[in-house]
Every structure is written in structure tokens, then in C-alpha cells.
Amino acid sequence: MTVRLESRVFSMPALGDEDPLPMVGAPLENPYQIGGAIPQEIIDGSHYGNPVNLYPYQEQNGYGRSRSERPLRTVVLENERLRAVFLPELGGRLWELFDKVRGKHLLHSPPTIQFANLALRNAWFAGGIEWNIGTRGHSPTTCSPLHAALVRAPEGFDVLRMWEFDRLREVVFQIDAWLPDQSAVLFAAIRIRNPNEFSVPMYWWTNAAVPQAARSRVVVPADSAFASNESGISRVVPTEDGGTDCTWPTNNSHARDFFFDISPEQRRWIVNADGDGDGLAMVSTPQLRGRKLFVWGEGRGGSRWQDWLSPDGGRYAEIQAGLAQTQFQHLHMPASAEWSWVEAYGNAGLDTDIAHGTDWDAAVRHSEERVGALIDGPALESAHSAARSFADLPPDRAIAAGTGWGALEAVRRRRNLPWIDETGTPFPRDTIGADQQPWLDLLEGSGFAGAATFVRGDDWDALLTDAEGPHALLHRAVLKHASGALGEARELYSNSLESSPSAIAYRGLAVLSLTEGNGEDGLHNYRLACAVEPDNVFLLIEAATVAIREGAAGSALALIEGAEGGTARQGRIRLLKAQALALSGDTVGAADILRSGVEVADLREGENALAVLWRQVFAGEAVPDEYQFSMNDEE
């Protein structure tokens, strides 16, 4: 096996600045409330652990759709049979897995990386294998750098290690990847450590984008699945759901999730097989229980989303593996617990006469045999044992630095809170940057002059209380707001404003008023916030969006006028202006904007605002394909 550090040029936009506003509102990914004829375990898991917000993270919504050639650091693991390419600067994504023997790419790896609004913090991109932790949705770290290093295993081979501190659940996760000589599979060992003295809700799904060819079929060792619908999920037989065999991704008319009901004693695997029988097999030790197929569907909306996410990259589906049976569940991770498992990825090389036949049981038995030949259970358990033997070995060679939040957390916890053994996953103090420095100063008694980032926890609140001053009052207000102490938050916001005008404080008061159902007071505070920071495009867009929702077209137009100019979010501003004009009765003005073209880089998955506005302005006229982003073509 060889390991190489390289660079690859991608056509991609700049990620842009993070939104300066704290994420104190509801998560972008709304939780489902599951009921009905669904196993109680799934129902209970869907009611547990759903976060009220994504605080202390901030949105990554500063990107556009103007792409240029940009280099990204890559780590390449290669042996005689496989080549694996990782992107440590973008969530550690396993971007490419190439079967050298069969000459097949096992993953959807488009030449273009295009950010879009599908993740918990907004920015996401299609392709490769993604690591999702924390809560339902694409991970907060999916478009952020991970710490990365090479570790020399006791057997003498190199392991790629990537790790980071998850700020939502306050846990440390690590991914160890290695590719033995002559191995037909790439191994990935995942470890999550909860350093807290209390249990935390836990979620993990490994998400693989796989090429969706006309003759691609997904095979899983299960006869039934829990499939998503408009109200939640229901049990279906995927091979004959409504008269359709949905295990062929191209047979699905619209976007759907299928969470397969695999029996407890069954080995955990899922395979995507193209017309030659080639494709990704995802196999794991039993700890990774769930398996899922996601399809965009063949309707206008699904096709539009595929083009939107992979402008030059063709079609894809997703096969996934998770800790729980469905993605609606969280699991209790006990205090001080450590969870680990191993995943293996390779080409099962199925016989299409059997795997693509009408006898599902025969297809499953055949796939099981081929998966076993690829990597059997004892070999996978042996890999897990090996991974545990080197999980805490110190890095041999640093490759890339993640964020400085883990280093700050280490300093914070060494004061009076439990923490992990950092030997294998160090968080060097020199990774602390401008985002963390004000908080480090506060920890070390150097005062607090304000920060553009946010933290949470009772100990931070106590330190801010001792620090005093308007900046400390403001951040205490945000802390209280995020934790649900709304009365205290309102008082602290108001107190901070007595000393110093602040857009964050006025915005906080606006959000609180809207939460209480007082739209008029909310809009008033938004106007005050925008007056303090008239160049804050993120704030202006949020305020204008609320004004339109509250029916205040005049206020929205006034705010939008201040936001127009050169910005990556200009498409969103044009949509808001068209919506405000239509709301005010100026359908001609709205029509002019729509006719001239509106491209909104951060349209949310399932957001069909452009089509809704088109139907409002051009009654009876078909919605153009470029404005159709519905997940259901009947909308």
C-alpha cells in the first residue's frame, strides 16, 4: 500500500464567510414525529434528542454558484486493486474509490463541487462518502476541515487518521482509514468518545453517493423497509411498493428514503450493482445497524436537483449505514462512553443474471455470498480488533489542521471538567485562531472584548458574568436564548443595548418577539438591527424574509434596497425582491425579475419558492424547469 499527499484542482465556488448571526432558531432540518404502526423503538428514538437549535455553530451560507479552478489537498491510499482519495479540508470526505481491476469508479465523484443548502449548517456538496454525526441531517462538519495525520500501525502500515470535536453533542469523533496490500476493500474504523459526565443523544450515518446508471440496482438483506412519505414513514415492501420495484433507483418517480428492516442476526451490508454487476458494497461490524437507500426520483424536481448539485457529474443515488435503524432516531450514549465499529468498502462484483433477476430472495443470497467473498465476518472483526490496537497511537506525521474548537475545549475542560486522552487525537494549542482567541483570553483571565463566534455552557456563562461589560452581557444573552431561558435572554439583550447598540442584540429581541407571536415588535427590532449594521447582508436577508412572511411588503422592499449590490447571495435578494413586489401587488415588477432569471444559490432542499411565485405571477403558465425544485412533482 502507498499513501500520497497530493493536490487536486476542482471547479468550485468559494465557501465564503460564515453567517455572523448565532443559530438560536429551529434547526434547518425539522424532526419528524413518528407514530402509527411503527416499532416502538423507532417511535421512542424519534422523540428523543432532537436539538432545539444548532447553536453554537453558525451557518455556512456565504457561497454562490460562480465557480473557478481551486486546489484542494488530497490524501491518496492505493494498493494493487483500489485507489481511495480523501478530502481532509472538506469534512474528510472519501471522494473517490476506484476499482483498478474492473476499471470502475464505485462512488459518484463529479469534477465539479457545488455547495448547496442541504446540510445542518446550510452548505453541502454531492459526491463521495460523507461522515454524519450529531443529529438528523448532513453533519455540521461536512464542509469544514478535519484534523488529519498519518499513524504507523504496529504491523508497519500507514493509517490515515481524521478527527474533530463536535460542538453540538460535545464529543470527539475519529476516522481511521487504511488499505492493506492486495486488499479488495478499504477499511474505515470510526470511534466516538463522550467525555461528559452525562449521556448525550447520538447519531451517526455514513452516506455514500453512488453512480445511478439505467441498470443500477440496490440489494439489501431485507424484505421490508420503512419508507418516507409526506407525514413520516410507513412500512413497505420495496420490491413491490405500489406495483413498483423501488430497489431500482430509476423506478422511483419522486424523492424517497428507504430504511431497510434487517433482522438482528443478519450481517450488515448494502450493495449497489450496475449493469455489469459492479458497484459499491458497504459492509460493517454489527454496531452499525441501519441501512438506507435514498433516491431523488425521476420527476422534474428530482432531475432539477441532480443538475443543481452535480452540474457536470451525472446522476447519483445514496446508500447509507447508520447506528440506528432509521435517521429519525437518536441513541443514548452514556457518560464517558466510547463507541467504535469498522466499515469496509469494495466491489462485490455481482452476477447480474441473479442480482438483477425477479427473484429477490435469490438476489439477496447471491449478494450475501459475494459480500462474504469480498470480506467475511471474522476478517471484519479482526480489522476492528486491529483498529482498537492503534486507535490511541500518536500521529506520526501531521497532514492538515481542523478547527481550533477542540483545542479551546481542551483548555476549558482541563480547568474542572472531564476530557479525553488526546494521545491519538491531539488538539494542538497552535490551532486556536481568531475565532477562538477571545474565548481563550476569557478562560485565562485576560478580559473579554467581544467575539464574532459563540460558545455554550454554564461555566462560560459564569466567566461572562464575572467579565461584565456590554460584550459579556450580549454573549450571556445569546447563551440564555439558545438554552431556552427566553425571559433572561430578553433582559440581558436590553441591558447590553443600554451600554452599546448591537445588531446581534436587536436581532435577538426580534427573534424573541416573533417567538412570542408579536410580529410588529419583531419587525421593529429587525429594522433597528439593520440600522446598526446596514452592510450586514446576512442580517438584511433574514429581516426581509421575516417581513415578507409577516405581510410587510414595504418594510421588505426598504430592507432589500439596502442589500442590493455585489454579493454571493444576490440571487436570494432578487427572489426576496420579487416576492415583496408580488406581495405589494406589483406583479409586473415581480414578473420582470422572474423573466430575467433568478438563481438562488442557497435554496433549501424541498424549498419550491420560485415555482410558487411563478404560479402566483403567471397564473396558468407552466413553471420553467429551472424554477422547479419540488421534491414532489405534484406541488
CATH number, domain of 597, equals: 1.25.40
Domain identity same for 212 and 351:
yes
CB atoms within 10 A of CB 565: 9
CATH number at residue 515: 1.25.40.10
- Split at pLDDT 50, 70, 90, the class of 387 is very high
293-306 tens-digit pLDDT: 999 999 988 999 99
Average pLDDT over residues 408-420: 96
**Mean pLDDT across the stretch 393-413?**
97
Q: Are residues 231 and 177 in the same domain?
A: yes
Q: How many domains does the chain have?
A: 3
Q: Is residue 409 part of a domain?
A: no
**633 has a pLDDT exceeding 60:** no
How confident is residue 31, by pLDDT bands cut at 50, 70 and 90? low
Residue located via cell numbers 468559494: 14
What pLDDT band is residue 29 in, cutting at 50, 70 and 90? low
**Secondary structure, 3-state, 596-612:** HCCCCCCCECCCCHHHH
For residue 511, pLDDT beyond 70: yes
What is the predicted pLDDT for the residue at 468? 84
Residues 319 and 183 in one domain: yes
Q: How much is the pLDDT for 463?
A: 97
pLDDT in tens, 445-501: 999 999 999 999 999 999 999 998 999 999 999 999 999 999 999 999 999 999 999
**135 is written with which cell numbers?**
443529529
Which range of residues forms the domain containing residue 508?
449-531
- Which residue(s) pair with 69 in the sheet? 11
pLDDT for position 631: 76
Give the domain-ending residue among 516, 531, 546.
531
Round to whole Å and give the CA distance between 607 and 583. Answer: 19
Residues 588 and 483 in one domain: no
Residue-wise pLDDT for 140-195, tens only, equals 999 999 999 999 999 999 999 999 999 999 999 999 999 999 999 999 999 999 99
Q: Is residue 556 part of a domain?
A: yes
- 68-102 b/e (C-beta count within 10 Å ≥ 16 → b): eeeebbbbbbbbebbbbbbbbbbbbbbbbbbbeee
16 neighbors 122 (Cβ within 8 angstroms): no
pLDDT at 197 over 90: yes
Cell numbers 432558531 correspond to 25
Q: How confident is the model at residue 256 (pLDDT cuts 50, 70, 90)?
A: very high
- The pLDDT, as a whole number, for residue 27 is 82
Residue 422 resides in a domain? no
Please tell me the pTM assigned to this model. 0.96
Residue 598: inside a domain: yes
Query: So what's the pLDDT on residue 32?
Result: 64
How confident is the model over 218-246, as pLDDT tens digits?
999 999 999 988 778 899 999 999 999 99
| 313: CATH | 2.70.98.10
User: Mean pLDDT in the chain?
Assistant: 95
Q: CB 523: neighbour CB atoms within 10 A?
A: 21
Asked whether residue 499 falls in the same domain as residue 576, the answer is no
- 28 pLDDT exceeds 90? no
pLDDT at 148: 98
Q: Does one domain contain both 285 and 376?
A: yes
Burial of 141-179, coded b for 16+ CB within 10 Å and e otherwise, reads bbbbbbbbbbbebeeebbbbbbbbbbbbbbbbbbbbbbb
Tell me whether residue 400 is in a domain: no
